[in-house]
Amino acid sequence: MTQCSTRLISKLKDAQSVVVFTGAGISAESGVPTFRGNDGLWTKFKPEELANVDAFIRNPELVWEWYKHRKQIIASIQPNAGHYALARMEQFHKHVTVITQNIDNLHRRAGSTTVHELHGNIEHNYCIDCGKYFDDQEIMNHDRAPRCSACNGLIRPDVVWFGELLPVEEWNESVTAAERAEVFFSIGTSAVVYPAASLPMIARRAGAYIVEINIEPTEFSSRADEVLLGKSGEILPHLLEVCYQSALKHI
């Protein structure tokens, strides 16, 4: 287990505001497949065939088959020790902001209260013509691509596809949080999808202490102040034990 440094312990002891930026890796130990790992989703499917609006209009049945498969996985799993450790972090700082690229809702289910979902939420759906909202109960029993009860338009999952803008408020609040962070964690992300992947650099430029947690080095690792190599579901509970217990002893 990679140890966290005394520098990180002292940074966390005094930090008012901590930001945690997460990607698919933090949900891997819950059983959610990642995108770019060896067993990643993009090794089986091509994002350009599935995660963009043209693909959806061209072949809504294929895209719905993929999202229904992922909805079923996500409905059957639980947050893991990493999600719960982040939720517990809130008792030690004035502000803990979770900024996630994940669409699995696991941070909220683990108890995190400030969560910005940059790429949407797979449990939400809406009509592409009139915008009417549909939750999963209303659409999951359709065999074919579900249609809107109000205007018969195609219903889509409320996620951000390639080439689509991120939700403006979520993005703006995430940038503000990154600029204010004293400690910024980047956890379980390959940091290759923009603009989300620009957040660690925004935080670094604003003076935050940057910690990366991943099972392997990423494109961003060289710019982190500290890299903790290992599974987030193991490192985060350990980090809570070591960093915060000693912080509590100093109070």
- Residue 8 or 148: the one with the smaller Cβ distance to Zn ion is 148
Q: What gap in Å lies between CA 56 and CA 198, rounded to an integer?
A: 27
Backbone angles phi, psi at 208, to 5 degrees: -75, 155
Nearest distance, CB of residue 93 and ligand BV8, angstroms: 22
Calculate the CA 38 to chain-centre distance: 19
Q: Would you say 154 and 145 are in contact if contact means Cβ atoms under 8 Å apart?
A: yes
Contacts of 160 (CB under 8 A, 6+ apart): 118, 119, 120, 166, 167
How far lies 63's CA from each of 18, 52, 119, in Å?
A: 36, 9, 16
**Least separation in angstroms between CB 49 and ligand BV8:** 12
Residue 132 binds which entry of Zn ion, ligand BV8, none, with Cβ cut-offs from 5 to 8 Å by kind? Zn ion
Nearer to Zn ion, 133 or 162 (CB): 133
Min dist. Cβ of residue 248 to ligand BV8 (A): 26
> Minimal CA–CA distance to 247: which of 23, 45, 15, 1?
15
Q: How far is the CB of 98 from ligand BV8 (least distance, A)?
A: 14
Tokens linked to 176: 């503000």
> Of 116, 119, 142, 238, which residue is the catalytic one?
119
Q: What is the CA radius of gyration of the chain?
A: 19
Question: Strands (DSSP E) along 16-94, which ranges?
Answer: 17-22
H-helix or E-strand spanning residue 62? helix 60-75
Q: Which is nearer to ligand BV8, 28 or 199 (CB)?
A: 28
What is the spatial distance between Cα 168 and Cα 174, in angstroms, rounded to a whole number? 10
Q: Which residue is nearest to ligand BV8 (CB)?
A: 25
The tokens describing 223, both together, are: 């710019």
CB of 32 to ligand BV8, least distance (A): 10
- Cβ distance 9 to 87 under 8 Å? no
**Residues that bind Zn ion in the complex, under the rule CB under 5 A:** 127, 129-130, 132, 148, 150-151, 153
- Beta strand 120-127 with 155-159 is antiparallel
Reply yes or no on whether 119 is catalytic: yes
* Residues annotated catalytic, as ranges: 119
